[in-house]
Amino acid sequence: MATNGKDTIYIDIDDEITTIIDKVHSAEEKIVALVLPKRATVLQSIVNMKLLKRAADNDKKNLVLITGEAGLLPLAGNVGLYVAKNLQTKPEIPGVIGQDDDDEVTDEFLDDDAEEITAATAGSRPVGELASAASKGKATATPALEEAIETLELDDELDDEIAPGVDIADDAAAAAATKKSKKKKKNKKLAIPNFERFRLLLILGVILLIGLAVFGYFAAVVLPKASVAITTDTSNINSNLSLTADTGAKVVDATNLIVPAQVQSVQKNGSQQVPSTGKINNGQKATGTVTVSGQCTKKPDPVSQGIGVSSGGLTFITTDTLTFKPTFDQNNNVVCSGTVPVVAQQGGAQYNLAAGSTFTVAGYPSYSGSNDAVFTGGTDNIVQTVVQVDIDNATQKIAAQNTDAIKQQLEQQLTQAGEYPLAATFNTGTPTTTNSAAVGDQVSTVTVTQATTYTMFGVKQSDLKTLVDADIKDKIDPSKQIILSEGIDKAVFHINSASATSLQLTMATTATAGPDLKVDDVKKAIAGKKSGQVITLLKADPGVTDVNVHMSPFWVTSIPNKPAKVTVTFQKAQ
């Protein structure tokens, strides 16, 4: 491959010298980089290295060997070839190590007129000549260059097998047979196929084919879309209607503005758990004795048990009859007094009053009391109780929950039933509330549960269009215009009154009148056409002032044939 004025050629380990020379000759650039495999035996011969250098010089090409093998560096240096470790390294000619008579021997082998040394003529050659060629990695030149290369590869083996004093001619036939056997092993036609690699390529090919098929389906069927915006000479007409939606109506009544309605409802249960905030002391009640006294003109009647006496906000109840006895004080005034046992109204250690505490007596404002001894027996045992504010807080949390999901559910139910949902009619019914505990119950938490029914009205969109058409038919010129859109999707509804089966509401909408173009007809007319054809076709209508066509993805060049893939909109010219 060529890169920035340089050809890079990758050499296979089985490539012969003639194949490498052909690749160099076929290179288009003047600089040729040969990337050698590890153990490239074909270039471990000075003869092959010379042949390669001569072929490059004849083609006037600068040759660079890309290799890291140290054994090839002296050979490349001897013939003057550049070497680099990799494609990014600066090439240089390696230093020559011990150059001797190799040049003369090599030149002799490369000389076209040199005598040919074969197995038949080896017997007449001096042993020293043959031994010198074998020891230096040289091969005898033969008419077939491939045989010379193969002979070079067997030099080491032959050197080991030839014993001192044995005539080379005697072993010529054996060497030739060995050489022939070696060549047969390298016959590429007899190589065993790599079935694992073939199977891997086959699986990858099948996966690629399936992927292309899936992509082709999506690209041609699923993804293509088109939108066509038609600018027309249109006019907007406002419509305001006061109508009745009644579940008992069967057909639309354009005269009385009554449309059949359907009600969808759904019941939802909401619950909230809150901690109880009331506290009560369930400890032991304190007891003691109180002396009640006051000025009197006559002896009071005995007071039955159960009256309250209080001190410092703490109330005690008498547990026996209070009997008064008249006495005289130091001023000779008549004083009526009596002693009675009392018990604390609630448990708690705070009722253990010290001696000398002052009491008031319920129902006897002129009397007061005191205790001569400490009140005892009161202990603390605080428990939580439910109070009304706890229940109210839980109820408020339920009411504050988001109802958007419930609205969407009702709208979906109405849509599936073929109705146009009137979101403004969404209503929350009166909830039914149950509590897990009553006020005063001694629990740590209270759970409030409410069952609420939500409702929403829906009507046929076609019925609403019928009412709008009847309202604006006298406001357009039927000979030039038709109603392009009743604007129901953007209509504003206001509920005046509602019951379980009907409601009174107002609808405000803006209809659009323009040229007689219908969306479905336009989709059929432009199916399969290109952008320019669509513009020309639609602009032929005198009421159309402009057409804007957009297709996606980028490879789509024509309008999809499926109407669902095409969006047609009308807009008024500015």
What pLDDT digit, counting tens, does each position of 466-487 carry? 999 988 888 887 766 788 788 8
Q: Are 444 and 546 in a shared domain?
A: no
Instruction: Check: CB of residue 459 under 8 Å from CB of residue 411.
Output: no
Whether residue 534 is found in the same domain as residue 548: yes
Percent of the chain with pLDDT over 70: 81
Question: Phi and psi at residue 434, in whole multiples of 5°?
Answer: -130, 145
Do residues 520 and 562 both lie within one domain? Answer: yes
Q: How far apart are CA 551 and CA 571, in angstroms?
A: 19
Which of 355, 380, 405 is a domain's end point? 380
- 163 and 205 both lie in a single domain: no
Same domain, 307 and 199: no
Answer yes or no: is 110 within a domain: yes
More confident residue, 11 or 106: 11
- 480 and 557 in a single domain? The answer is yes
User: Which DSSP state fits 528?
Assistant: T
**Cα–Cα distance, 68 to 48 (Å, whole number):** 18
The residue ranking higher by pLDDT, 542 or 376, is: 376
d(CA 200, CA 49): 39
Does some domain include residue 257? no
- Element (DSSP H or E) covering residue 315: strand 314-318
Asked if residue 33 and residue 137 are part of one domain, the reply reads no
The neighbour count for residue 144, using CB atoms within 10 Å, is 8
> Is 431 inside a domain boundary?
yes
Tens-digit pLDDT profile for residues 539-572: 887 678 889 999 988 888 999 998 988 999 887 7
Q: Is position 210 within any domain?
A: yes
Q: Determine the structural domain holding residue 146 and report its residue range.
A: 103-188
Q: What is the CATH number of the domain that holds 356?
A: 2.40.30
477 and 446 in a common domain: no
Higher pLDDT, 6 or 345: 345
Same domain flag for 410 and 269: yes
The answer to the question of residue 83 being in a domain is yes
pLDDT category of residue 357 using cuts at 50, 70 and 90: very high
Note whether residue 237 is domain-resident: yes
Same domain, 408 and 453: yes
User: What are phi and psi for residue 468, nearest 5 degrees?
Assistant: -65, -45
Q: Mean pLDDT over all residues of the chain?
A: 80
Final residue of a domain: which of 459, 478, 512?
A: 459
Task: Give the domain-ending residue among 99, 116, 149.
Answer: 99
Together in a domain, 52 and 63: yes
Which residues 6+ apart lie within 8 Å of 88 measured at CB?
none
Tally of structural domains, the chain: 6
Q: Supply 200's token pair.
A: 């891997």
8-state DSSP, 542: T
Co-location of 266 and 402 in the same domain = yes
